[in-house]
A and B are shown apart, each in its own frame.
Chain A
Amino acid sequence: MPLAPSVHTHDIAHDEPQDYVWTLNFGPQHPATHTTLRLVLKLDGERVIEAMPDIGYLHSGFEKIGESLTFNQYVTVTDRMNYISPMANNVAWHHAVETLLGLELPARCQYIRTIICELARISDHLVCNGAVGLDTGAFTFFLYAFNRREDLYDIFETMCGARFTNSYTRVGGLMHDMTPLAVEKIRAFCKVFPSTLRDMERLLNRNRIFVDRTKGVGLLTKDEATNRSCTGPIARASGVTRDLRKDEPYLSYQDFDFKICCATAGDCYSRYLVRMAEMWESLKIVEQAIENLPTGPVNVDIGQRTALPTKRQVYSTIEGLISHFELEMSNRGFEVPREESYAAIESPNGELGFYIAGDGTDVAYRARCRPPSYIHFAVFPHLIRGHTLSDVVAVLGSLNIIAAELDR
């Protein structure tokens, strides 16, 4: 049986056969796609007439797996979604779970989660902007970015023992408290990062080659951005001022002084600028949070029966012991309302939310992820139409498509 063609060609209305139009397969294995996705490009000379994305190469059924893993187990899967900012995914997942459960987090936990979210944002933007630079020929810029990202992964490693697959959050708290060493490393990072960021800005912001490659490329107007469900830096580069950190303050964002970074042009260059500016703001938030880090517990009270008690509590108090048993026994777990709720955070890439349906057990009945990469990649054919083949990598890079999140 012959395979059905996996990409259907859209009929373009034309009177005569266009012999000069030829089709180019871009990906699924191509250095500039960064991850596994495929584009079928129809080219007229060097100009892209139409781009047809073909995705699904990395589809691994994350949402189906979410229906068989408990809320605490599933956090390991969220690491693998957007793997360049896994900390933000962890926070997003447990934020959604805690919304469903109606848990109020202790202040220290909220601050630490805010810090890791912002560090994840810096790390994501370093990779994304670095990759845009790399794809348009700025190799030095990429190395500057990756040097600092290494520092961030060092911090994450100190916090939770893993560089990439962090799984740092738990329902109602964190894997464990932040150590003084981690605080020290974050402080050190805050000291060295501004000089790197300034160097990076000096390298590219007014670089003739880079500006020529990105300015006016991949235009997205404000109305289109909203109409096509764009969020995050991509929408903000088009003039949308929506940012969940300000509009629907979650964690402890209302305590900090920071700005929302927007641009109006809506091209690749503005997306680059918005990301650069957001790193400055994230740095401000991290500095404020680390200096005002509250003391106290990181997990919710053991009476809530959601977070595991400490060993000291288990061995010396009856409540701790009961709570430990209740959580460890396979037929107990914690009580979940038979309701459905949606909660989202402003992830580095845009609004990352989870729609969870609870059926009374601690396994989600349905764990839907609202993936920003998926929604932003749908905009790609619109952005690239009429541009040249070399602009494909610039636009693709500026959208920050992570295929693991795209396909899930």
Chain B
Amino acid sequence: MLRPETLAQLTAAFPQLAHSEFRGQSRVVVPSPSLLPLLTQLKERLGFDLLVDITCVDYLNLRDATDRFGLVYLLASTDSNERITVRSFLNEPDLTVPTATGLWEGANWLEREVWDMFGIVFAGHPDHRRILMPDEFDAHPLRKDYPLQGRGERHNFPVLTRGGS
């Protein structure tokens, strides 16, 4: 839950912010160019020092959805126990957002996972590699156009033999 004064400060600095509440959770939506300034403001000025999670939702199959990807940052303040969800929508072909590793070290692996699973590029990330899937993998499995089963990646892997290795 966000305190009213925090929200007032936030909307004063970012007038284009869309704010909504659901079950006592405050969510804001920002256009992707102002994502990093907003996160910086939240961390440096408003005391959101804990990056809880970074995740992404692919809205490909969702009825009435207009955007393809929704990037989600969950932030919390260890001081005032406020929480805020920052969302930003991305569309192909421009799936690049600036990295948040400069603000939180914890963003490193979380962003790598989002890249691995959704193919969102985090510009300036110090170690921009896949993390859960093997490096040879060429798809992003949590995208909605990736099937749950039946693609057969295993068969595409090169077979190593004892003689050839």
Within 8 A of B (CB), among A349-390: 351, 353, 355, 357, 359-360, 365-366, 368, 370, 374-375, 377-378, 382
Tell me which of A6, A240, A360 contacts B78 (CB under 8 A): A240
Within 8 A of A (CB), among B37-63: 49-53, 55, 57-58, 61-63
Interface 9-mer from A56-64, A74-82, A292-300: A56-64
When the two chains form their complex, are residues B52 and A370 in contact, meaning their CB atoms are under 8 A apart?
A: yes
When the two chains form their complex, are residues B158 and A64 in contact, meaning their CB atoms are under 8 A apart?
A: no
B141 at the interface (CB under 8 A from A): yes
When the two chains form their complex, are residues A355 and B104 in contact, meaning their CB atoms are under 8 A apart?
A: no
Distance of A72 Cα from B159 Cα, bound (Å): 40
Interface 9-mer from B6-14, B91-99, B125-133: B125-133
Q: Which residues of chain B have C-beta atoms less than 8 A from A100's C-beta?
A: 23
Tell whether A341 pairs with B110 under 8 Å between CB atoms, given A4-B136, A55-B132, A368-B55. no
Within 8 A of B (CB), among A98-118: 99-100, 102
Distance of A340 Cα from B49 Cα, bound (Å): 23
Distance of A2 Cα from B135 Cα, bound (Å): 12
When the two chains form their complex, are residues A6 and B135 in contact, meaning their CB atoms are under 8 A apart?
A: yes
When the two chains form their complex, are residues A227 and B104 in contact, meaning their CB atoms are under 8 A apart?
A: yes
The contact sample of 19 A-B pairs, CB cut-off 8 A, is A3-B160, A4-B135, A59-B133, A68-B148, A224-B105, A226-B50, A227-B104, A227-B106, A229-B51, A241-B78, A340-B85, A344-B52, A353-B52, A355-B53, A355-B72, A366-B58, A368-B72, A370-B52, A408-B132
When the two chains form their complex, are residues A1 and B158 in contact, meaning their CB atoms are under 8 A apart?
A: yes
Distance of A340 Cα from B148 Cα, bound (Å): 22
Within 8 A of A (CB), among B92-128: 104-110, 113, 117, 127
Q: Which residues of chain B have C-beta atoms less than 8 A from A64's C-beta?
A: 141-142, 148
A242 at the interface (CB under 8 A from B): yes
Distance of A353 Cα from B53 Cα, bound (Å): 9
B16 at the interface (CB under 8 A from A): no
When the two chains form their complex, are residues A341 and B62 in contact, meaning their CB atoms are under 8 A apart?
A: no
A346 at the interface (CB under 8 A from B): no
Tell whether A355 pairs with B132 under 8 Å between CB atoms, given A226-B50, A342-B25, A374-B109. no
Distance of A2 Cα from B157 Cα, bound (Å): 10
B134 at the interface (CB under 8 A from A): yes
Tell me which of A2, A68, A227 contacts B105 (CB under 8 A): A227
Interface size on B, residues (CB 8 A): 42
When the two chains form their complex, are residues B23 and A226 in contact, meaning their CB atoms are under 8 A apart?
A: no
Distance of A228 Cα from B105 Cα, bound (Å): 5
A267 at the interface (CB under 8 A from B): no
Distance of A407 Cα from B132 Cα, bound (Å): 6
Within 8 A of B (CB), among A184-242: 224, 226-231, 240-242
When the two chains form their complex, are residues A56 and B52 in contact, meaning their CB atoms are under 8 A apart?
A: no
A8 at the interface (CB under 8 A from B): yes
**Residues of B bordering A, CB below 8 Å:** 22-23, 25, 27, 49-53, 55, 57-58, 61-63, 72, 74, 78, 81, 85, 104-110, 113, 117, 127, 129, 131-136, 141-142, 148, 158, 160
Tell whether A341 pairs with B25 under 8 Å between CB atoms, given A63-B142, A229-B51, A407-B132. yes
Q: Which residues of chain B have C-beta atoms less than 8 A from A230's C-beta?
A: 106
When the two chains form their complex, are residues B141 and A226 in contact, meaning their CB atoms are under 8 A apart?
A: no
When the two chains form their complex, are residues B141 and A61 in contact, meaning their CB atoms are under 8 A apart?
A: yes
Distance of A65 Cα from B142 Cα, bound (Å): 10
Please name 6 further chain A to chain B contacts, defined as beta carbons within 8 Å, in addition to the given A6-B135, A229-B51, sorted by A numbering: A65-B148, A228-B106, A230-B106, A340-B57, A365-B57, A382-B105
When the two chains form their complex, are residues B63 and A229 in contact, meaning their CB atoms are under 8 A apart?
A: no
B160 CB to nearest chain A CB (Å) = 8
Tell whether A375 pairs with B81 under 8 Å between CB atoms, given A8-B129, A339-B22, A357-B57. no
B17 CB to nearest chain A CB (Å) = 17
When the two chains form their complex, are residues B141 and A56 in contact, meaning their CB atoms are under 8 A apart?
A: no
Q: Which residues of chain A have C-beta atoms less than 8 A from B57's C-beta?
A: 340, 357, 365-366, 368
When the two chains form their complex, are residues A227 and B49 in contact, meaning their CB atoms are under 8 A apart?
A: yes
Q: Which residues of chain A have C-beta atoms less than 8 A from B85's C-beta?
A: 340, 342
When the two chains form their complex, are residues A3 and B132 in contact, meaning their CB atoms are under 8 A apart?
A: no
A361 CB to nearest chain B CB (Å) = 11
> A-B pairs with the 7 shortest C-beta distances?
A229-B106, A378-B109, A56-B132, A370-B53, A368-B55, A59-B132, A228-B106
Q: Which residues of chain B have C-beta atoms less than 8 A from A227's C-beta?
A: 49, 104-106
When the two chains form their complex, are residues B53 and A368 in contact, meaning their CB atoms are under 8 A apart?
A: yes
Distance of A64 Cα from B117 Cα, bound (Å): 10
For B108, B131, B136, the residue with the greatest tally of chain A CB atoms inside 10 Å of its CB is B131
When the two chains form their complex, are residues A341 and B22 in contact, meaning their CB atoms are under 8 A apart?
A: yes
Q: Which residues of chain B have C-beta atoms less than 8 A from A351's C-beta?
A: 52
Distance of A337 Cα from B62 Cα, bound (Å): 13
A388 CB to nearest chain B CB (Å) = 24
A366 to chain B: closest residue by CB = B57
When the two chains form their complex, are residues B131 and A55 in contact, meaning their CB atoms are under 8 A apart?
A: yes
